[in-house]
């Protein structure tokens, strides 16, 4: 997995790469109405439990993208997908707060190339 596309976290002693794929983007859009609403939702969750649920869902979704990519590319060496239950049992609320940064990094890396290409095309049109 390319480091320029992912952010790493450790859960239960195992390292997982958080990756924003097209599939993950579609799921996030379905849940939040778009990537742009995600930051607001994470920061403005009505209560602590809801904020934790959102972070757990996102970590599970983004970490499983790297597992699914691995399983697609290496069908003979399949890895078990991460579950929300496992994330809840193997982490502390303090760790989850720290993972917010990794989530935002994965989102930034996943959308960066798209934003840069839009900027390049806008710049090219000027003059």
Q: Kindly report the CA angle at 39 between 37 and 42, in degrees rounded to 5?
A: 105
Residue pair 102/8 in contact (Cβ under 8 Å)? The answer is yes
pLDDT value of residue 83 = 97
Per-residue pLDDT in tens (0 to 9) along the chain, 127 residues: 556 778 899 999 999 999 999 999 999 999 988 777 776 666 665 667 778 888 899 999 999 999 999 999 999 999 999 999 999 999 998 888 788 888 888 888 887 755 454 455 444 544 4
pLDDT value of residue 107 = 84
pLDDT value of residue 73 = 96
pLDDT value of residue 127 = 44
pLDDT value of residue 90 = 96
For residue 52, give Cα distances in angstroms to 77, 79, 85.
Answer: 32, 25, 12
Q: Which helix (H) or strand (E) holds 18?
A: strand 14-19
* Block residue for tokens 């994965």: 106
For residue 100, give Cα distances in angstroms to 18, 28, 43, 59, 79.
Answer: 11, 15, 10, 9, 24
For residue 38, give Cα distances in angstroms to 51, 63, 65, 69, 79.
Answer: 12, 17, 18, 24, 28
Which residues have CB under 8 Å from 21's CB, separation 6+?
65, 69, 110
Length of the chain: 127
């Amino acid at each position: 997995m390319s480091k320029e596309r992912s952010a790493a976290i450790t859960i239960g002693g195992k390292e997982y790469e958080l990756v924003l794929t097209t599939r993950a983007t579609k799921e996030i859009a379905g849940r939040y109405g778009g990537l742009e609403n995600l930051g607001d939702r994470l920061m403005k969750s009505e209560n602590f439990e809801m904020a934790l649920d959102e972070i757990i869902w996102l970590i599970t979704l983004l970490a499983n993208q790297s597992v699914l990519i691995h399983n697609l590319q290496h069908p003979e060496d399949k890895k078990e997908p991460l579950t929300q239950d496992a994330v809840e049992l193997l982490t502390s609320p303090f760790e989850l707060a720290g993972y917010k940064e990794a989530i935002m990094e994965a989102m930034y890396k996943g959308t960066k190339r798209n934003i840069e290409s839009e900027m390049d095309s806008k710049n090219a049109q000027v003059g």
